[in-house]
Structure 1
Amino acid sequence: MSVVVVGTLDTKGEEIAFARDVIEAQGVDVHVVDVGVMGDPEFAPDTAAEAVAEAGGTSLQSLREGGDRGEAMDAMGRGAAAIAERLHGEGTLEGILGLGGSGNTSVATTAMRALPVGVPKLMVSTMASGDVEPYVGFKDVTMMYSVADIEGLNQLSRRIIANAALATAGMVASDADVEVEEKPTIALTMFGVTTPCVQTAREYLEDRGYETIVFHATGSGGRAMESLVRQGVVDGVLDVTTTEWADELVGGVLNAGPDRLNAPGEMGIPHVVSVGALDMVNFGPPDSVPERFEDRTFHQHNPQVTLMRTTSEETAELGEILATKLNDASGPVAVYLPLKGVSMLDAEGEDFYDPDADEALFDAVRDALDSNIELIEMDAAVNDEEFALALARKMDEYMSEAPGEIVPDGT
């Protein structure tokens, strides 16, 4: 059992030593990685700052002489990530803990994001009460707010650092006896407005003997899914909800970046795709919507989420993007079009019902999709049971035909 603790020993040595001692008192080994740049460490680490800088492609002397804090943090982040990956590969990193302000939060979480999902990752940070997306990304990084600055030990900091140290030690020392079955794994993408479709498809696939992982199409969800596809964790993707591309194109807050839809095709795994929730772009509260959209159609999903209807021009471009992405796939691909609506809000009588915008989307897919890719059009809405089952059955068919695929004995 071993925990890596990442910190700046030139400024936070006392606090890091305290965390180390708490962890070691639980019978867990500790490996301290020093990422301090400007001064000498307050105690000898297991991995020195010089080694971290070198792993980041530079030298500690260069960083000190350069005097650019941002450049130094970037380099130490790269180095810490490389060292964390190596220690994990050697079996000497079973969990990772970081302590610090904005600088070490950036460095330590860079190392954390380099590690596989499932490795315990805990960051005690002065930044944890704000926007943590830059630190967490799409990995399972736990952020703990330090309340006070991590500067000296006192009645408050001792308790918080001890809690973090005990939590990390507990995560690596405890055996949750989580059952892991060797089943082919299918990823599905879901939004609230496509939930019935995904639930029906998931239940069908699980009855057939597959394991399913559902990703919330919130930007980070799509990036997480594509990352796991590239890691080989996922064997097939049922991409019901491609809505993140609407945010990427129009400027919403839940975009997954321009590489969304790439990974399944790059890996050559089965990919069954639909156009779920491409009728909407996501923003925060109403006052967060940019003024340039003031004349658009909106739906208040909840006090924190405002949805905006995509236009015919936007859906046409989205259809072309989707088709162009899928044309490059090296594995089996099928595209399903629900001609009666792409979300709960796109049904007749609902706020986003717009047949012209939907038809622009469908026409663009029809025109841009290569003829060797299966295109199935159904006179159904995305959440209709018949549509969901058609998607699931196609996924099962592709999985059964995939070379070297472990396919369960379905019932």
Structure 2
Amino acid sequence: MKRIYVVGTADTKGEELDYLAAQIAALGAAPVRVDVGTTPAGIAVEISAAEVARHGADTTQAELASGDRGRAVAAMADAFSRFITTRNDIAGIIGIGGGGGTSIVTAGMRELPLGLPKTMVSTLASGDVSPYVGVSDIIMVPSITDLAGLNRISRVVLSNAAQAIAGMAAKPARIEDGRPAIGLTMFGVTTPCVTAISEQLRDRYDCLVFHATGTGGRTMEKLADSGMLDGVIDITTTEICDLLFGGVLAAGEDRLDAIARTRLPYVGSAGALDMVNFWAPETVPVRYRERLFYQHNSNVTLMRTTANECCQIGQWIGRKLSACEGPVHFLIPEKGVSALDIEGGAFFDPEADAALFDAIETSLKPAPNRRIERLPLHINDPEFAQAAVAAFLAIAKQ
């Protein structure tokens, strides 16, 4: 039987955990209370903190007994993230917590598949929740008052959260589209290309387009790792620029690693590798103040990558793709990599582009399943989109 996991620190949030579990049970669902506290529980639970901790690293018990709260919280977060992936009876998961509890519970939630209902009632939910949500689909609910005993506000918040998680668990979403799914990456400056590719493939594939904002690329690769994608058309690899040169829309160091792990058919390109993203002009690091910029809007400032930076970007991409054993086809648009990198455009720089393309070519280790193709086209030319579609259909058959 599938159950709803109700997770929190039973040493400090026992009253709230009991109340939340009771609300879920009253709705006809089956709650199971999980303690992730670092000191003895104040209520009875179905799954103890000791059981959770047993799934941690060899040092977990020592960290929990260290007397250092930060080390104990980190150890329990690691243990819970390992524990939760061993469970096969989760219909949904709901957590409650302050700073420590939110860190512990969401660490486990992020390990669960996308689509499985996840709700976190937190004192931190009205601030920047990106460290807790990551690229998962966790629903963050502000607790309004602190979780320090029940009151007229917290009862309402917890009751509403119980109804939300029970409803989602009772009627899980169904994916009825029978087409295989592919992930595509897009930026405003590569929109014509990616839109054309999607239109040409939509009859055969469910095209999931991700905005290449750092989070977009990480989300796409999480789906790849989760077995929810059948291929990737990574036209817009711009997140790598921000990673290497301090931009605000950076990929993680593991960008492209999911392609290597899953061996999915991969068509890539150099979309928007001519730019690093910053917020408003005053946020640009001092070391870059004399560079070439384009004001995308009042809150986004784009910086043109230099030939030297493009060389580093190309080497990074070549090294990553050399680790891929699945089919890889990388397309180089010789007439420009974005809407700004075009003759007469603000970022048109053939020398920088040449450095980028040469670095990719020389860094990618030759293999029968890895191919680089230069095209005398701009990335937004209709013919480039057609070439990307043809390349993907060819390797998808392998």
Superposition TM-score, scaled by structure 2 size: 0.93
In the other structure, the counterpart of 2:328 is 333
Q: Deviations over 1:300-354 (max 9, x none)?
A: 3233322211111101111122122222321221111112211112123332222
Return the letter of the residue paired with 1:29: A
Question: Do 1:58 and 1:75's aligned partners in 2 also have CA atoms closer than 8 Å?
Answer: no
Question: Do 2:3 and 2:91's aligned partners in 1 also have CA atoms closer than 8 Å?
Answer: yes
Judged with a 3 Å threshold, the aligned counterparts in structure 2 of structure 1 residues 60 and 256 are, in CA distance, closer, same or farther, namely closer
May I ask how many residue pairs the two structures share in their alignment? 395
Question: Do 1:35 and 1:80's aligned partners in 2 also have CA atoms closer than 8 Å?
Answer: yes
In the other structure, the counterpart of 2:18 is 17
1:84 aligns with 2:61: no
Whole-angstrom CA distance in 1 between matches of 2:45 and 2:110: 22
Q: Deviations over 1:70-91 (max 9, x none)?
A: 111122112222332222x2x2
User: What SS does structure 2 have at the residue aligned with 1:396?
Assistant: helix
Deviation at 1:30, TM superposition (A): 0.4
1:342 aligns with 2:337: yes
User: What SS does structure 2 have at the residue aligned with 1:335?
Assistant: strand
Question: Do 1:37 and 1:64's aligned partners in 2 also have CA atoms closer than 8 Å?
Answer: yes
Whole-angstrom CA distance in 2 between matches of 1:147 and 1:306: 35
Give % identity: 47
In the other structure, the counterpart of 1:224 is 219
1:278 pairs with one of 273, 277, 280:
273
1:197 aligns with 2:197: no
Whole-angstrom CA distance in 2 between matches of 1:292 and 1:396: 44
Q: Deviations over 1:92-134 (max 9, x none)?
A: x111111111100000001101111111111111112222121
In the other structure, the counterpart of 2:247 is 252
Whole-angstrom CA distance in 1 between matches of 2:175 and 2:105: 30
In the other structure, the counterpart of 1:384 is 381
Whole-angstrom CA distance in 2 between matches of 1:254 and 1:318: 15
Whole-angstrom CA distance in 2 between matches of 1:374 and 1:86: 39
Whole-angstrom CA distance in 2 between matches of 1:231 and 1:163: 30
Whole-angstrom CA distance in 1 between matches of 2:189 and 2:232: 19
User: What SS does structure 2 have at the residue aligned with 1:94?
Assistant: strand
User: What SS does structure 1 have at the residue aligned with 2:65?
Assistant: helix
In the other structure, the counterpart of 1:368 is 363
User: What SS does structure 1 have at the residue aligned with 2:120?
Assistant: strand
Whole-angstrom CA distance in 2 between matches of 1:61 and 1:270: 43
2:315 pairs with one of 301, 315, 320:
320
1:134 aligns with 2:135: no
Question: Do 2:333 and 2:379's aligned partners in 1 also have CA atoms closer than 8 Å?
Answer: yes
Judged with a 3 Å threshold, the aligned counterparts in structure 2 of structure 1 residues 147 and 271 are, in CA distance, closer, same or farther, namely same
User: What SS does structure 2 have at the residue aligned with 1:66?
Assistant: coil
In the other structure, the counterpart of 1:157 is 154
Question: Do 1:196 and 1:383's aligned partners in 2 also have CA atoms closer than 8 Å?
Answer: yes
In the other structure, the counterpart of 1:406 is none
Q: Deviations over 1:334-382 (max 9, x none)?
A: 1111122111121233322222211221222233334544222222211
Return the letter of the residue paired with 1:216: H
Gaps of 5+ in 2: none
Judged with a 3 Å threshold, the aligned counterparts in structure 2 of structure 1 residues 280 and 59 are, in CA distance, closer, same or farther, namely closer
Whole-angstrom CA distance in 2 between matches of 1:37 and 1:213: 41
Whole-angstrom CA distance in 2 between matches of 1:397 and 1:48: 52
115-124 or 340-349, larger mean C-alpha shift: 340-349
In the other structure, the counterpart of 1:43 is 43
In the other structure, the counterpart of 1:310 is 305
Question: Do 1:248 and 1:255's aligned partners in 2 also have CA atoms closer than 8 Å?
Answer: yes
Question: Do 2:113 and 2:226's aligned partners in 1 also have CA atoms closer than 8 Å?
Answer: no
1:69 aligns with 2:69: yes
Q: How does 1:26-37 map to 2 (within 5 A)?
A: 26-37=27-38
Q: Deviations over 1:272-314 (max 9, x none)?
A: 1100010111122322221111111222323332221111110
Deviation at 1:238, TM superposition (A): 0.8
Return the letter of the residue paired with 2:124: M
Question: Do 1:50 and 1:60's aligned partners in 2 also have CA atoms closer than 8 Å?
Answer: no
Whole-angstrom CA distance in 2 between matches of 1:127 and 1:112: 16
1:261 pairs with one of 235, 256, 264:
256
User: What SS does structure 2 have at the residue aligned with 1:47?
Assistant: coil
186-195 or 257-266, larger mean C-alpha shift: 257-266
1:97 aligns with 2:94: yes
Q: Deviations over 1:153-204 (max 9, x none)?
A: 222222222221111111101254x343343322111112212211111121
Question: Do 2:190 and 2:339's aligned partners in 1 also have CA atoms closer than 8 Å?
Answer: yes
Judged with a 3 Å threshold, the aligned counterparts in structure 2 of structure 1 residues 148 and 300 are, in CA distance, closer, same or farther, namely farther
Whole-angstrom CA distance in 1 between matches of 2:338 and 2:158: 46
Question: Do 1:189 and 1:214's aligned partners in 2 also have CA atoms closer than 8 Å?
Answer: yes
Return the letter of the residue paired with 1:70: G
2:104 pairs with one of 104, 107, 111:
107
Deviation at 1:12, TM superposition (A): 0.9
Return the letter of the residue paired with 1:6: V
Whole-angstrom CA distance in 2 between matches of 1:32 and 1:68: 25
